[in-house]
Homo-oligomer: A and B are copies of this chain.
């Protein structure tokens, strides 16, 4: 599950920043803050509809905050490519609409009662409204792209949308299968998370009409950052740090969602541990204390620490992808974002 980073800079992130060594989100946020304000306004304008339930439900999810990391990638990439127009605003909103539509449908699929610590839209308005408002936001995303008028951008985002949906279907087939391979897991998180990170980044190069090498570099940056981000998200679902931030842990475990920490624990475990995973994850027969037991097994098998190491690998690839761009404030912020995404696990 994509639980994400905290963008409210007044709280934890600000405190974290007091520690000079800790990577933070502040620099990125400061550089794109004014553009992001315009994106937020555009999002609010474009989610309006004479059908009152649409802005109500969309507003619950969109206006509630959330990290806006995907539209931020579009804004940052456009800046990195020295883009000076304003097309990136509408397209960043479009990216966020695609993401929000996906979240609404995800919550229906997962039967989630909570999203970002609040009641989820489907818990409040029912699955029906969540499915249909998701469809509306998805359609609206395409309307925004059509209004922008760039076929290359439409191609980037329609291709990404198809891959995301494919990844979500693939994820259904890996659920409750602790024997899932690391490759299949990677395929799922690439499709359902990293592809939109990559597409969001590429849109920045597309509006700036940069050469294909820069498009490819931003594709790689977004894809690898997205993989690292999702790996860390999946670690956080078993992490004490996450619990400290006041967020629920164990959602994936309770749903029988198979992520890398569990895959590693399964592969490294003996018969007795595999029987535990079969009972709790494959058959979803869970008792009090099982989540704690799962975390203890993962720790004893180094499954959490090694999942973070895997994330570091993808972070390193993302870093080198930006090597073709000259040094700049925004490049530094994009590099720091990689580190921030990874270190939030600690």
Which A residues fall within an 8 A CB radius of B?
49-51, 53-54, 101-102, 105, 108-109, 127-129, 131-133, 135-136, 138-140, 142-143, 145-146, 149, 151, 154-155, 158-159, 161-162, 164-166, 168-170, 172-173
Contacts and interface: CB of A to CB of B under 8 A. Distances in A.
A96 B109 CA distance: 24
Contacts of A128: 108-109, 172
B53 A173 contact: yes
B109 A169 contact: no
A54 B158 CA distance: 17
Contacts of A151: 146, 149, 151
Contact of A105 (B135, B164, B170): B135
How many monomers of this chain does the complex have? 2
Contacts of A51: 166, 169-170, 173
Nearest to A57: B169
A142 B169 contact: no
8 contacts: A51-B170, A109-B127, A128-B172, A129-B172, A132-B168, A136-B162, A139-B161, A142-B154
A21 B248 CA distance: 69
A310 to B, nearest CB: 23
Contacts of A138: 135, 138, 161, 165
A129 B108 CA distance: 11
Nearest to A143: B158
Given A131-B105, A131-B109, A165 B136 contact: yes
A297 to B, nearest CB: 28
A162 B140 contact: yes
A168 B135 contact: yes
Contact of A127 (B127, B145, B149, B161): B127
B165 A142 contact: no
Q: Which 7 A-B pairs have the closest CB atoms?
A: A136-B165, A139-B161, A139-B162, A142-B158, A135-B165, A109-B128, A132-B168
A50 B169 CA distance: 11
Given A149-B151, A165-B139, A166-B51, A132 B158 contact: no
A133 B53 contact: no
Given A151-B146, A158-B139, A131 B131 contact: yes
A159 B136 CA distance: 10
